[in-house]
Amino acid sequence: MHELSLCHAIAGVVKPHARGRHVDVVRVQVGVLRQVVPESLEFCWSLVCQQLDENMVDTVLDLELVPAEVFCRACAQRAQITSRWSVCCPACQSTDVDLLRGNEFLVTSVDVSEGVTHEAGSRKVK
């Protein structure tokens, strides 16, 4: 399950930018060709956040799944592909394609709250 290591990598990017503030939402673009199972990533994210820091305990992971898209050099078509296992032009079946989208793995934004204190297990903003 490589999703656990991916979540540790996301947290490693987010934590320095939070600077001790509570992290509310982390937005991540994930290309469909990355072979990431969104449900597994979300589950692993909750585990990593509980272990890491009280400022990330209830952080929401907002995933944007990016479809795969190619440009075919053979027929000059730009098209989305639906297969995760074969990267070829859906119009002419050529494998002479440039991958335009679908391989992303990028933290795009982080929402944080100022002045967070923890009382009786709940988060309160000052």
**pLDDT mean by block of 10 residues, the chain; 126 residues:** 90 90 94 92 93 84 95 96 85 94 95 61 33
Number of domains into which the chain is organized = 1
Would 120 be classed as within a structural domain?
Answer: no
Would 126 be classed as within a structural domain?
Answer: no
0.85 surpassed by pTM = no
- The neighbour count for residue 112, using CB atoms within 10 Å, is 18
Strand locations in the chain (E): 22-31, 60-66, 68-72, 78-81, 97-101, 105-113, 116-119, 122-125
Say if residue 7 carries a ligand binding annotation.
no
Say if residue 22 carries a ligand binding annotation.
no
Say if residue 49 carries a ligand binding annotation.
no
Would 124 be classed as within a structural domain?
Answer: no
Cα distances from 65 to residues 19, 24, 36, 71, 108, in angstroms, run 28, 20, 10, 19, 12
* CATH number for the domain harbouring residue 105: 3.30.2320.80
